[in-house]
Amino acid sequence: MRITLRAAQESDVPYLLELRRLTMGSYLEKDGVPNTDEENLNRIRYNFKDAQLIGFCGKLAGLFKASYLPHSHQWYLFQIQIHPDFQNKKIGSHLVKVLIDRASSQGAKVGLSVLKSNPAIKFYTDLGFKVIQEDDCEFELLYEE
């Protein structure tokens, strides 16, 4: 599998905004989460230093953003968004498994949240994540060995 990651740059923001609209728009609306350009840009810019663009066979395929949180000794997967043209090619599962392996080698956990209407919840639970909390819109998940 030819997956690459590179640091996101300011010039990537228009792509990331469109990617968020394509991959998250319907779920944000279903769960009543603000879906304005301003809100989406805030989400894109949050922890932007850790944002990486996914390449697949030489083409832009999505976003992967995970940060190490030392206070909780865990990696947190803030965003993974695979462009619709590249979904179902196991890109996301590969990247999440690499993150799990990295965390495991450090004795760390992996956390994330997922919107309740997003079918990705099954993807994460199939990988071994457990729901540890929920609110009106999201499930909070944790992977620990």
Tell me if residue 16 falls in helix, strand or coil: helix
- List, for residues 98-113, the tens digit of each pLDDT value: 999 999 999 999 999 9
> Residue 145's pLDDT is what?
80
- List, for residues 16-49, the tens digit of each pLDDT value: 999 999 999 999 999 989 899 999 999 999 999 9
Q: Which residues contact 25 (CB under 8 A, 6 or more apart)?
A: 35
Residue 137 DSSP label? S
Contact between 113 and 142 under an 8 Å Cβ cutoff? The reply is: no
Q: 115 pLDDT exceeds 90?
A: yes
Q: What percent of the chain has pLDDT over 90?
A: 96
Q: Which residues contact 135 (CB under 8 A, 6 or more apart)?
A: none
Q: 6 pLDDT exceeds 90?
A: yes
Q: 1 pLDDT exceeds 90?
A: no
pTM of the predicted structure, to 2 decimals: 0.94
Domains of the chain: 3-143 (3.40.630.30)
> Residue 71's pLDDT is what?
95
Task: Give the separation between CA 119 and CA 113, rounded to whole angstroms.
Answer: 13
Nearest to 34 by CA among 25, 45, 44: 25
